[in-house]
Each structure stands twice: as structure tokens, then as C-alpha cells.
Amino acid sequence: MRDRIGVVRVVFLGLTPVKGLRHLSLSSVELDDHGPVGDRAFCLVDVERRTVLRTITHRALVAATTSWDGTTLGIELPDGRRAEGVPALTGEQVTCDYWGRSVAHELTDGPHAALLSSYLGKDVRLAAAPRGGAVYGAPVSLVTTASLRDVEERTGRTDVLATSSRFRMTMVVDADEEPYAEDGWSGRELSLGDAVVRVNGPVGRCAVIDLDPATGLKDGSLLKALSRYRPATDGEPWLGVDAHVVVPGTVTAAEPVAREN
């Protein structure tokens, strides 16, 4: 029997249907065996180079917003141009190297590729990603409010918690813990509404956290600040942890949740 050792509260939930585009704030998220439903269901592919476009090298993507109901995908650019339609699978696959693993993505037809190609000034295709295929680590990620407030205090930035979507994590949780307590949660389980996740380990951060989450413009040096005092993996300082789904279910923002050992 697992001992309950604390109570936390989910204060932010988010995901992006298209990798690299703006991270959306949601009132609830459905977790299935593979992670948040709809998260990074699509990605943009440079077919010639067989690469998936990454946020840090295509910052303008952050300013584009998405909507996805499981059938129809809408994409809106900051200048108001919009494409909406069913991303029909073509059966044509492109295998790309993604963080050291080969992932096959299926190209789609629809109005989205033309809009985004015009926006970026280069030819790209919208591709359907296999579940987890466009996610860096484990499919669920979280960070505590205590950690984000500590970053605020150390950097003098008062907007870190308010702009937590810059970290592009599934959730921010409010826990009665010391900052970075989540570093030690590896192997522990969190009951999140109807769902249960098991924490995998710390998440290394890249320069994406220095981009304004609404515009994609560089707005600070949080990465450099973290690098001064946080442990790191392959040069990337830790902030938050990732996790796998143990029991699928619905997670709702601001719902009390129990952390278990």
C-alpha cells in the first residue's frame, strides 16, 4: 500500500496540437496510455532534409495559434490569416531523425502547409506524428509553482509563473514543497483527477524558455540564469520533471490532487 505524502493542486494545463506552435492553456486535459490526447498530434516537416521543424530554429511558429477537435485543425497566424480543414492522411511517410531516434511521420493534405510555408518562407508539410513521436522525453511533464517562484526571486523576473507556458509543459502544480522538490519525485506516482502518472525524471531545458510564449521573440536569459545554479544533463539545466501515464483519466486545472509514494 502506498503512503500518501502530500497534496498538490494543478494550476495550469496546456499542450499544442502542432509541435512548435503556441502552447495552449486548457481547463482540462485527457490522459490516455500514451499521454495528453491531442498533444503534438502534428508536426511540420522539411521533406527534402527529412527533419522536423523545432521551435528554437523557427521561433515565429510560437506566434501561430491552433485549434484541434480530433477532426478539424485550425491554424491562425498573427496577421489574421487562417487555414482550417481536415488534415487528410496521404499514406506517404517521411522518416525523420528526432533527438536521436528515427520516427516515421505521415504527410497530410489540406490548406495548412501552404499557409505555414508562406509564413515561414520555406516549403514545409504538415505531418501526423505517431503518439510520442514529436515529444522530447516522457509524454507528461510538470513543474511546481515553488520552483517557478524561486526562478522569479533569483532572476528578478516577476512574470515567470504568469508566463509558465514558455516552458511548454503539460502542467504546473502547486505543492507545499521546497523549490525543486520535484527533482526527487522519480518513481513516485501522482493522482491527477481520474488519472495517475509515474514520474520519470528531471527535464533539461533549452533556449526555448527564453522566448515570449505569445510572440516567439527573445525576452530574457532564463536559461543562462538556470545554468548558474541548477544540475544539468548534457549541458541543459533541470527545471521540472516528465512522467508516464499509469492510469488514464481526465485532469482538470485547479483540482486538488494527491501525490503518493
Location of C-alpha cell 481547463: 27
What average pLDDT score do residues 16-41 get? 95
Q: Looking at 162-171, 182-191, 238-247, 250-259, which range is the least confident one?
A: 250-259
Q: Could you tell me what percent of the chain has a pLDDT over 70?
A: 93
pLDDT of residue 137: 78
The model's confidence at residue 6, banded by pLDDT at 50, 70 and 90, is very low
User: Is residue 134 scored above 90 in pLDDT?
Assistant: no
Chain segment 70-128, per-residue pLDDT in tens: 999 999 999 999 999 999 999 999 998 776 778 899 999 999 999 999 999 999 999 99
What's the one-letter identity of residue 228? R
Q: What is the CATH number of domain 4-14+137-260?
A: 2.40.33.20
Give the residue among 200, 189, 70 at the shortest CA–CA distance from 139.
200
Question: What's the whole-model pTM score?
Answer: 0.91
Over range 27-31, report the average pLDDT: 95
Predicted local distance difference test score (pLDDT) of residue 8:
67
Q: Which three cell numbers stand for residue 172?
A: 504546473
Q: Give the mean pLDDT of 40-55.
A: 93
Average pLDDT over residues 23-34: 95
Domain boundaries, the chain: 4-14+137-260, 41-128
Rounded Cα gap, residues 89 and 48, in angstroms: 19
Q: Which of the residue ranges 3-12, 43-52, 135-144 would you say has the lowest mean pLDDT?
A: 3-12
**Distance separating alpha carbons of residues 62 and 214, to the nearest angstrom:** 6
Position 4 scores a pLDDT of 39
Phi/psi region, residue 99 (left: phi>0; alpha: psi -120 to 50; beta: rest), is left
| φ/ψ of residue 142, rounded to 5 | -155, 155
